[in-house]
């Protein structure tokens, strides 16, 4: 495991165990560099990635602190797609296209904090609402953290449901982008002709490291992204 990833894992464990509650000071770049025998730049990278993930807050002149719980909550709740569909009174179905173990490419190994060539579990599941494909879920899983992932029937339980049951998550990050789908995506989503799609790239962590790296692709005509914010005090419009 890369040195910066070891530092992140160390901090994850401190937060997940409750040893470092919200607003608790986090070790400085210098202290982490000395503790893990790395350069200050490596320690800075670890803290910056944790900041980007919303787990810590950095304040110039004051230091780094564990983020308040409300700040750690993503603007997009991680919900089970099967529950969402059923909550609308619609029928949910899933079709599994890929479920296998394979060597990780560099593009997969890096977000999972593994080394290219390491074994990963790969799944591709398409989710349907009333027989209409609404999401293509391509997921890579760290076998060390979820050893029985390939033994599940993902037409009966979603990957999200299974992962939450066996490896409770402590953190997640999202990237959202609009894409022009490739031919394979059009086939998975049963698109008669290419149309703009919304892609959500998600990484999830437990106390021991990165659990999954997933790409969720939705047809633009069949998906809506929304949310609701409640402010503890009046604020200006943004």
Residue 118 is part of a domain; what is its CATH number? 3.40.1410.10
Task: Tell me, yes or no, whether 59 and 144 share the same domain.
Answer: no
Chain centroid to CA 172: how far? 4
189 and 103, same structural domain? yes
The 3-class SS string of 70-112 reads: HHHCCCCCCCCHHHHHHHCCCCEEEEEEEEEEEECCHHHHCCC
Q: What are the tens digits of pLDDT across the range 38-54?
A: 999 999 988 988 887 77
Contact 169/189 with Cβ under 8 angstroms? no
Condensed to tens digits (0 to 9), the pLDDT of residues 23-81 reads 899 999 999 999 999 999 999 988 988 887 777 888 877 889 988 754 343 444 567 88
- What's the structural domain count of the chain? 2
Residues 21 and 46 in one domain: yes
User: Domain span at residue 211?
Assistant: 81-222
157 and 104, same domain (yes or no): yes
Does the pTM surpass 0.75? The reply is no
Is 38 in a helix, a strand, or coil? coil
134-162 tens-digit pLDDT: 999 999 999 999 999 999 999 999 999 99
216: nearest Cα among 125, 96, 108 = 125
- Is residue 215 included in any domain, yes or no? yes
Task: Answer with the one of 40, 72, 104 that is the final residue of a domain.
Answer: 72
Type and span of the H or E element at 8: helix 3-16
- Is 93:53 a contact under the CB 8 Å cutoff? no
Confidence bin at 118 (pLDDT 50/70/90): very high
Nearest to 146 by CA among 158, 172, 164: 164
**Is 13 part of a structural domain of the chain?**
yes
Residue 18 has pLDDT above 50, yes or no: yes
Same domain, 93 and 182: yes
- Asked if residue 197 and residue 98 are part of one domain, the reply reads yes
Kind plus residue range of the DSSP H or E element containing 149? none
* pLDDT confidence tier of residue 226, bands split at 50, 70 and 90: low
């Amino acid at each position: 495991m890369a040195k910066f990833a070891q530092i992140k894992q160390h901090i994850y464990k401190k937060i997940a165990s409750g040893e470092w509650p919200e607003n608790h000071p986090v070790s400085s770049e210098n202290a982490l560099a000395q503790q893990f025998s790395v350069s200050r730049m490596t320690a800075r990278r670890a803290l910056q990635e944790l900041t980007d993930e919303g787990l810590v807050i950095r304040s110039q002149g004051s230091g780094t602190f564990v983020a308040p719980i409300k700040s750690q909550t993503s603007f997009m709740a991680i919900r089970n797609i099967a529950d969402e569909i059923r909550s609308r009174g619609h029928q949910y179905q899933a079709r599994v296209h890929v479920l296998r173990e394979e060597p990780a490419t560099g593009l997969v190994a890096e977000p999972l904090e593994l080394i290219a060539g390491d074994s990963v579990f790969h799944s591709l599941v398409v989710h349907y609402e009333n027989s209409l494909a609404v999401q293509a879920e391509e997921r890579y899983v760290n076998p060390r953290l979820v050893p029985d992932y390939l033994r599940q029937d993902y037409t009966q339980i979603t990957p999200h449901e299974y992962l939450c049951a066996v490896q409770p998550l402590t953190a997640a990050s999202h990237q959202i982008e609009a894409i022009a789908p490739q031919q394979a995506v059009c086939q998975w989503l049963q698109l008669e002709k290419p149309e703009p799609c919304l892609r959500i790239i998600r990484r999830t962590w437990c106390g021991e490291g990165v659990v999954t790296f997933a790409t969720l692709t939705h047809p633009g005509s069949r998906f809506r992204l929304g949310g609701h914010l409640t402010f503890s005090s009046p604020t200006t419009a943004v």
